[in-house]
Amino acid sequence: MNNSQQNILLIDKPSEWTSFDVVAKIRGQIKAAYRAQGEKPTKRQLKVGHAGTLDPFATGLLIILLGDATKQAGEFLKLDKVYEATFRLGQTSTTGDPEGSITNTSDRIPTREEVEQAIQQFIGEITQTPPAYSAIKINGQRAYKLAREGKDVDVPERIVTIYSIELLDYSYPEVKIRTHVGSGTYIRTLGEDIGKSLRTGAFCSQLRRTRIGDYDITNATTIAHYLAI
């Protein structure tokens, strides 16, 4: 990366905020700072973007790029990521997360050994079908927009890499993991696939991104900091 660190902000995104909400807040603060000095910011100075979205229900590391750093967004998107996720067994969701319609699917209670064995199956190069409710473009349109309109969404499979999955806790119906994944991996889909393997069904009830490449959540600033400015 050739950009100065001052053009890269690390934000700890709260739940219920979209990634665009964070971008808009930062842009608004930049505009207010220039106006406070009696200056009118240029389009270049108001250029703000993010390097990889987080679902509204998710929390954690969101990289915000300012000015010319936005040109390097593609480089950030290719970086590995680390997530902590909680999957709820025995239920499925139309969106793979708490935002969708939840359906009870099974009262089967897997053993911890079964959960650990199921998780191990997904380490390495695997095939995933990303969620219909995702930002992937299908014929030029976002998949989630088509899904919300009730249209059939045929999302193509992709090969992704999962470097590691660590079982942090299992107390039925919740399975908590930490996983290190390559770019393009959907954790919601991972949860659903683990649920299918366990014959229980599952959805991702909580998701937190803690690392993107060498950028760590411990160095991030909360959005509350910017709300206070």
From the list 12, 55, 97, 193, the catalytic residue is 55
- What is the three-state SS of the chain? CCCCHHHEEEEEECCCCCHHHHHHHHHHHHHHHHHHCCCCCCCCCCCEEECCCCCCCCEEEEEEEEHHHHHHHHHHHCCCEEEEEEEEECEEECCCCCCCCEEECCCCCCCHHHHHHHHHCCCEEEEECCCCCCCCEECCEEHHHHHHCCCCCCCCCEEEEEEEEEEEEEECCEEEEEEEECCCCCHHHHHHHHHHHCCCCEEEEEEEEEEECCEEHHHCEEHHHHHCC
In whole angstroms, what is the distance from residue 91 CA to residue 112 CA?
18
Which two tokens mark 6?
A: 């001052």
β-pair partners for 222: 12
Rounded to 10°, the helix 112-120/187-197 angle is 130
| 55 given a catalytic annotation | yes
Provide the annotated active-site residues.
55
